[in-house]
Each structure stands twice: as C-alpha cells, then as structure tokens.
Structure 1
C-alpha cells in the first residue's frame, strides 16, 4: 500500500513538473526578450521611443509575441551580460560581422555622415581637402576601450587632430548628450560634425533645411576602417530557431522597417558588391 502511494506521489510530481515546463515554454513562446539601452536615442530608450524599439514591437507583433526588455548600457561585457547570461534573447541592431553571436540577414546599411550648416556651403569630398584646416570638427569621443572611430583615424592620418572637438555619446539616466555634436553645428559652435549616420539624420531632422547631412568621405588609405556597416539582429549562437523566425519576420516586414528608418532620418545606402566588407568584429564579451 505504501509503495502504491509513493508511486502515485511520484507520478503526481512528474505530472506537475511537466506542466510547469510546458507552462514556461508557452510563456517563452509568447514573448520576445530584447536587450537594449535605456537612454540611447535614436536607437532605443526605456520609453520605447527609438527606432529599434519600433522594430522590436513590429517583429514581436508579427511573431504573435509581446516585447519584454532587459535594459543594459552598452560597453564592455554587454553581450555576455545580456545574450550570454540568458537575460534576453535578441539585440535588435548590431554589425552583421559581430562574432560570438548569430546574426540575421542585414536589414539596413548605413554610413558615417557629415553634418554642416546650409549657409556655410561646405562641399568636402576628401580628407585631403585644405578646407579642413580652417574648420572646427565635431566627433563623438572615443569609447572606454580606447578605440577611435573611422573618421577619427582618417582625420589623424591627415594631421587634422588639432581641429577636432570631442563630444560624448554616452547618456545617463537624466541626460541624453548624443545629439550635442549636431546641435553644436546648428548653433555655430563648430563648423562640421562627422558622426554615425543614424545620429546625424535623427538629430539634424529638427533643424530642417538649416542643416545638411551627407555621407562622409571614405579614406582609401584606411581599407580596414569601414565607414559603412550592414546592420542585423543578433541572437545566441545556439538559438537557431529564433534566428530563422526573425529572418522570416524581417523579410515579411521589410517595407515597414524601411519606413521606420526613413521616419527617423537614418541615412540608408546600398553597398556595391565589390566594396570591401568590414572585417569580423569581436563581440565585447
């Protein structure tokens, strides 16, 4: 009798555990767990105002899921602390060459851009142009890892470092300085800014025709410093199922995604097939 009761109890426990597992799987299938920065417009913020927020919502709706965010500032350890820890399942925007993760088919390509005042009539096509010597040039400051942006390398190659004014691109909970470098062009504090395209387009947009945004010149002498990047979504290396689902969703929603990017002023380019692609990037583990 005792053995029968014990077997019955074990059966109940197994049934309960199975029900719990099925419940968790059902819940997991009902959400899209997204890793994102809480204060990094135009990409994302914790109010859902960035274009990556909009794309995440669009993809989740297409997959019959709801978005759940894990907020984490980008920097050293970002991938490890988010995707790697299982805290979330997807990063909406990363370079398609990022290593240590699996990336979807790229859904847009952007480029570093220059921002100038319309009335200044600057039309620079090369870093060898003597006009740079008379300009105050705004750049986003180097990251905490000490890496410089491709435009910074190009300016350094042409001995233009003394012309550079640095601006931070990392916000806090209370401040959003990412657009200060573009605002400085508008108010005349600097003459020209060279920033990643989405920053340029988004922060120049409120100034209307006062500011002009153009692709930044590419420096032929620096082939390993790409000025254009294919952007994709990233998942863990072992999450093939989610990768396939996201690829299918990105394809279905391509037109709407392009509309979102256009609305945010993101400069979009098509790379020539023979263009040298960026080398693979090591993820910040």
Structure 2
C-alpha cells in the first residue's frame, strides 16, 4: 500500500518542475479573457497548458496600445491567443476560427441585409469601433470614411472605459439603448454580448468582406507564439489539430464557428 501511494505521489509531482506556460492576457476583456478565467482565450490556454503538461501562468496587461511590445515582445510571456493569422510580429499557429466584423441592429427595427454599400447607412445613426485619431483605425471605420459616411457616425473606442467591466461592449450596449441604430462591431465581441442583451439584437457579417482591396472585414484567428520558440509553435499546432473537436465545442459556446 505504501508503495502504491509513493507511485501516485511521484506521478503527481512529476510536473512540478515543468516550466510554466506564460500567457499574455487582458484581465478585463470578455469574451476573450478576464482575471476570473471566464473568457474563450482563458479556456483555450488552459487546454493548451494541460496538453503540454505545464502549469499555466498569466502575464496580465490591458490590451491596448503597447500590449504586444510590453508582453510577448519583451519575452515576458510565451503565447498570445486570439491574434490574426500571419501577424508579422509573432509566429502564428494554424487558425482555430474565422471571424468578421458584423452589423449589430435591434431585431424590432428590421434592418437585416445591410452592406457597406447600402444607401440606408447614410440615414441611420451608426456606431463604429475606433483605435485612435492617427489613422490606425478599424477596417469598418476606414470603409465608412471612404464612402463619405461620417456625419451620422459615432465612434466607440476599441479599448473603452477600463474602469468598467468589459469596456469594449459599450458599442453593443449603445444599440440596445437606441443611442445608435446599427453598430459595426468585431464579431466575437458582438456575438457574446448580443446573446446576453435584454433587447433582442441581430448580427450579420459586414460585406463585402474586402473593401477597396485593402480593408478586410474577416480574419483567421490563431495563437501567437514567440518567434524564438519554434518547438512550442509545433507543439501547439499539434494540440489544435488533435483537439479540433473539443476546441470547436468551446468556440460554439461563445457564438463562434471553428475553422
């Protein structure tokens, strides 16, 4: 019996010396991550760490300008889930889902079928996510500006008011509150908060998906990995392939479709 207990203890302790998997994450950014571990990227990171046999450790940083530079760029974390595939600053895994910007409207208003070239956009109160005032803005913001649709557009900072929970959700809340008629919102954010809205909301992909041959509205999403750790990139790609069905089930819980 003593030998059996010793064997069990050896198994349990075998991973104690494993190097932690350090994950870059925002502590207040549902549906992606939060400090309570409720986000999609929290749960994906847990799965990856478990499959690697490494303890999970977070490097918390508000996901706003300077996030990458101050986290994975400095080597303080190993992975950054939820980045666009092919992002130049990091190595990226195979995509695990694809998402697009969407129109968010109130179902009662019957505004289905909106596109970037829909004449209704010139008369509706629109909301669009903004990054800043230096030209580095979201694709829908550029698309509306290119069409001269600016006077009826209200901007909602992508980072939001960090003093409140889930700050980027403000644009979805604005649709529900009738402050705007339609919001052009990053799809995963819209899906999560529209599903929880007391006011029934509709979400539809923004089309065309590529505007003016330079502003994509849809992106493949991957895990970002430090470029100096190719072995980790290979290992996570294997996990995403092996656990494809489990990851797909996780994505559906957040209103997303797997790649």
TM-score grouping bracket, smaller chain normalisation = 0.7 to 0.9
Deviations 1:104-156 (A, max 9, x none): 11111110011111111112343222211221111122237541211111111
Gaps of 5+ in 2: 1-14
Cα RMSD between the aligned structures?
A: 2.1
Q: CA deviation at 1:222?
A: 1.4
The separation in 2 between residues aligned to 1:197 and 1:221, in whole angstroms, is 17
Structure 1 residue aligned with 2:203:
213
Matches within 5 A, 1:110-125: 110-125=99-114
Structure 1 segments of 4 or more deviating over 6 A?
Answer: none
Structure 2 residue aligned with 1:91:
80
Matched, 1:160 2:157: no
SS in 2 for 1:213: strand
Structure 1 residue aligned with 2:50:
61
Change (3 A) 1:88 1:163: same
Change (3 A) 1:47 1:142: same
SS in 1 for 2:212: coil
Matched, 1:187 2:187: no
The separation in 2 between residues aligned to 1:130 and 1:99, in whole angstroms, is 37
**Normalising to structure 2: TM-score of the pair?**
0.86
The separation in 1 between residues aligned to 2:207 and 2:34, in whole angstroms, is 30
How many aligned positions are there?
Answer: 244
The separation in 2 between residues aligned to 1:93 and 1:151, in whole angstroms, is 20
**Normalising to structure 1: TM-score of the pair?**
0.79
The separation in 2 between residues aligned to 1:28 and 1:162, in whole angstroms, is 59
| Larger fraction in helix | 1
Structure 2 residue aligned with 1:150:
139
Of 128, 142, 146, which residue of structure 1 is paired with 2:117? Answer: 128
Gaps of 5+ in 1: 1-25, 271-285
**Bigger radius of gyration, 1 or 2?**
1
Change (3 A) 1:238 1:173: same
